[in-house]
Amino acid sequence: MEKKTLDISLIPALAAKLEKVVEQRPEGNFVVRGTETPYSGVYYAVGQVDGGEVYKVATIKDGQLVGTGTVYRPDGLIVGEVDFRDGKSLQESWKHWNRGGKEAGPPGDSGE
């Protein structure tokens, strides 16, 4: 079976669509907008890292971030990855890559 690849260019539109359906509560969990129903599915968001736009992709199960979340640059290069358990990021799992594609130090360290 062939593995599907993510089309990075679609993330902003997917994030905008998801934002209309899902809301993040102050305590960090995600629910279906206007309800108390926990959201489960893929999470897409657009954010900023080091002054540049980035795209975030993660998995939410029963309202909590789980598994590995990945942050991409618009050109498709990975900025970083972090593992989530019970909705919390495991800081020791955080990996960061510089613009040259080499693994760098912690977020904010360009490593270039």
pTM above 0.75, yes or no: yes
**Is 23 in contact with 60 (CB distance < 8 Å)?**
no
Q: Is 1 within the bounds of a domain? A: no
What pLDDT is recorded for position 65?
95
What pLDDT is recorded for position 94?
83
Range of the domain at 62: 8-104
What whole-number distance in Å separates Cα of residue 57 and Cα of residue 72? 8
Q: Is 52 within the bounds of a domain? A: yes
Condensed to tens digits (0 to 9), the pLDDT of residues 49-88 reads: 878 899 999 999 999 999 999 999 999 988 899 999 988 8
Q: Is 34 within the bounds of a domain? A: yes
Q: Is 30 within the bounds of a domain? A: yes
- Total structural domains in the chain? 1
What whole-number distance in Å separates Cα of residue 45 and Cα of residue 25? 15
